[in-house]
Structure 1
Amino acid sequence: MSLPPSILPGTLAAYPQPELTTPTGLTLRPWEAADAPAFLSAYDDPAIQQWHPRHPASEAQVLEWFALYRTNWTHERGASWAITRTGEVVGRIALGNFDLHAGIAGFAYWVLPVARGTGVAPSALSGVSTWAFASGFERLHLSHSTRNTPSCRAATKAGFPLEGTKRNEAPHADGRHDMHLHARIPSDSNPAV
């Protein structure tokens, strides 16, 4: 006898990827073609280059990534949102590697320099987490380099306690890094951000 899945296949893809709003005034929406220049220019930022080893090379490649994001939603593999404030893109948040049977998924995110230190990442993490838990996910996790202190603060502020260190886990431009693992489950508190 098999255990039933946490989320029945077809449940998420039965609807368009949701647009989410946070109590802090952020709108998280699916990426649009008009966002390609902002998305591409984000990877000119040294911090985003440092912590995200994959970089798009052109607006055409960004549009290919956007198409992949739509396909991932349709096939219930993941979702990627533009983080916007007053209509302007200020970051990206993605929830990927959906395991619908176990109810597990993992986060990735970046915030543009103009919005850093303003609570954008914790607010976006909290907003997507609220949607994900309401949709049936049972565990959400994220990893970041042990050298990426701002990401560690954002995760903790969003209610993702540090669970441990994954040694030599991820390649970066300056070599392999140990990665911190943070996770949140539905019974964890949802801190005000």
Structure 2
Amino acid sequence: MTFTTGPVIPAGSLSASVQPSMPSRDGELLLRPWAADDAAVWHGAYEDPVIRRWHMRRLASVAEARERIADCGRSWQQERAAQWAITDAVGGAILGRMALRSMDLEQGTAVCAYWVLPHARGKGVAPRGLRTLADWAFDKVGFHRLELEHSDRNEASCRVATKAGFAAEGIRRSAHLHADGWHDMHQHARVQGDV
């Protein structure tokens, strides 16, 4: 069966190039692909109680983090997901993570995900990183819609989404199982043309 419309983003558009690094508008942050040397930082992030509270995945070891980073490269080549380290543009210190998951090039959609390390919280890292990612996804790649969701109990993530221009669209009731039980999830989205 064929579609009545062509793909929003032609297959091969991403995998034909190297995953880019992207500076934030203010030049203070850089989103860059993860490197094998970052495995200890990634593993440490999932030991942080705040990240552990809101993310349902765990990393057992630095070796497992290294394998996840290797999978990032495969995911880019397969055009199914992309992940970046958010770094300080000057010193290169890792501040957090930004990701596009569940990429659907046919429909031009993807799901955004992020976390910020404890020392970088409260400094606008997540909203600036999310805006940088969204600008690239819309302007350079041609995505039509980016979505994100977070627990209705995660007020910080809600502020990040709003500051980055992701409009609240509704609540998915009892949608994700966390360590403390089922959570309702706030749904946000930004579409091509939103400011």
Q: Does the residue aligned with 1:164 lie in a helix, a strand or coil?
A: strand
Partner residue of 2:57 out of 51, 54, 59: 54
Alignment of 1:1-193 (within 5 A): 2-24=4-26, 25-85=28-88, 86-134=91-139, 135-189=141-195
CA distance in 1, matches of 2:180, 2:166: 27
Could you report, residue by residue, the CA deviation over 1:6-32 in whole angstroms, capped at 9, with x for unpaired residues?
Answer: 000001110011111102310111111
RMSD: 0.9
Query: How far apart are residue 171 of structure 1 and its match?
Result: 1.2
State TM-score, norm by structure 1: 0.96
Query: How far apart are residue 2 of structure 1 and its match?
Result: 2.1
**Aligned-pair identity (%):** 50
CA distance in 2, matches of 1:99, 1:36: 27
CA distance in 2, matches of 1:23, 1:48: 26
Aligned partner letter, 2:35: E
CA distance in 2, matches of 1:64, 1:51: 22
Aligned partner letter, 2:142: G
Could you report, residue by residue, the CA deviation over 1:10-61 in whole angstroms, capped at 9, with x for unpaired residues?
Answer: 0111001111110231011111111111111111211100000101110110
The 4+ residue runs of structure 1 with deviation greater than 3 A are none
How many matched pairs? 189
Aligned partner letter, 1:129: A
Aligned partner letter, 1:104: T
Any gaps of 5 or more consecutive residues in structure 1? none
State TM-score, norm by structure 2: 0.95
Q: Does the residue aligned with 1:84 lie in a helix, a strand or coil?
A: strand
Q: Does the residue aligned with 1:131 lie in a helix, a strand or coil?
A: helix
Contact 2:36 2:70 in 1 (8 A): no
Any gaps of 5 or more consecutive residues in structure 2? none
Could you report, residue by residue, the CA deviation over 1:140-165 in whole angstroms, capped at 9, with x for unpaired residues?
Answer: 00000000000000000000011000
Q: Does the residue aligned with 1:147 lie in a helix, a strand or coil?
A: coil
